[in-house]
Amino acid sequence: MITYNKLFIGGTWTEPSDPEPLVILSPHDESVIGRAVQARPADVDRAVAAARAAFDEGTWPNTPPAERVAVLRRLNALREARAEEIAALISAENGSAGWFTRAGQPGLSRQADAYLKAAEDLAWEEVLSPTDPAATVRSIVRREAIGVVAAVIPWNSPFSAAMAKIVPALLAGNTVILKVSPENSLSMALLAELLSGCGLPEGTISVLPADRETSEHLVSHRDVDKVAFTGSTRAGRRIASIAGEQLKRVSLELGGKSAAVFLPDADLAKFKAGLKFSSLLNNGEACIAHTRILAPRNRYEEVVTAVKEVVESLKVGDPRNPDTFIGPMIRRDQQQRVRDYVETGIKEGARLVTGGPGVPTGLETGYYVTPTVFADVDNSMRIAQEEIFGPVLVVIPYEDEDDAVRIANDSAYGLSGGVWSADEAHALEVARRIRTGTVTINGAPIGFDGPFGGFKASGLGREYGFAGLNTYIEYKTITA
């Protein structure tokens, strides 16, 4: 069993204000896997004070960009060396299947590499060429750090969410307080160990597991200059209102209810091969999951049958087993939330194709749900409009291509989506019409060089690559 009795504040393991640890339970069998102390408002105050002093009086903001790149490259190397341990720990905490946590490790390297390249290529200070050749004034543009960043991340993919924020924030010269979910106290303490060995100056970063009340204390803190948040749209609205009152910078990566548009000429075999990765990754607890499947009337039952076959073929069970594809939900309340949505779908009149509100046989212990597919779903139903965050898919019929685009766009969200077609050029045309931050063609993976983020209620701002780095930068113009 893993135990952490101290908090990582300003780069130092520190006694917490509340010494009583939180007991971390396995979502698989509800056994105790660890204990970790949690941050309270007093600990947040100490972390913010350390970050404020490190930014205002320390060396990190003025460290040459190439040296900051070297430090973050060292962090990435330390993480790579412990990739297997990280994957296993996240599976234990979250119930995420081992295939998913292991497959995500190379992605973390690509994510970091894209940020590092952006930092190396960026002109941190440049002299603009005047538009008027006779001009006697020159403009010098500097890209500088914003200040103290509160990075608040969710539980479903902790290392990815953490690295997506702390790497660009630190590359830009900011100091950071990373607020993590209590469920991820163990894996994020491991991240703190890596941070302690990569060469960051004192005070530059803290890692605090904490509840929502303490999180609000952090984002409301007057000495925090920017909030970077990933999580629910409801929480994002609250954070945006706080940031608006204080006129502090904010970026939000929020929920999704993404549509996969299956065009009439799409290859059904390729669709079936990619569906489990695009729609059911991480036990369905993924904001980018394509949980609305849009199928043409003339192939509707064919697609419904294909989705049913894929879902029924996936093994549900112990996330440590190599043949498990779907593990448990992270907590009992999340398990009940998903089961309640399945009941809602039945009450709304959708056709239950497979699954249901019951628990899989033999998996009564732990937080398991039965992967479920609904057909004959109207896009106005709650199961088509609200983010369920579990292995529940809905198949919605459409009349023609314009109708498919209309349904795809008829959502409060706009984070991700997909188009399936034998004609890639035509698929691109349809993708351009979908109002969402990311669209994949025929199951292509999301890249890390391009911007990632959402339209509408799916958020503000972008992550990954140059766009993500730019989120943590202030522009200054000097004329001479």
Name residue, tokens 């498990």.
324
Query: Helix, strand, or coil here: 451?
Result: coil
Task: Report the alpha-carbon distance of residue 26 to residue 82 in Å, rounded.
Answer: 21
In 26-97, alpha helices (H): 41-56, 65-81, 83-94
Catalytic pick among 253, 285, 387, 463: 253
Catalytic pick among 285, 287, 387, 463: 287
Residue 287 is among the residues annotated as catalytic for this protein = yes
C-alpha torsion sign, points 102, 106, 111, 112? positive
Task: Report the alpha-carbon distance of residue 464 to residue 183 in Å, rounded.
Answer: 25
DSSP, res 415: S
Task: Report the alpha-carbon distance of residue 222 to residue 39 in Å, rounded.
Answer: 18
β 440-441/459-460 pair status: unpaired
Name residue, tokens 């993404």.
258
Residue 253 is among the residues annotated as catalytic for this protein = yes
Cα R_g (the chain), whole angstroms = 23
How far does Cα 173 stand from its chain's mean position?
A: 23
Do 390 and 369 form a contact (C-beta atoms < 8 A)? yes
Task: Supply the residues annotated as catalytic.
Answer: 253, 287
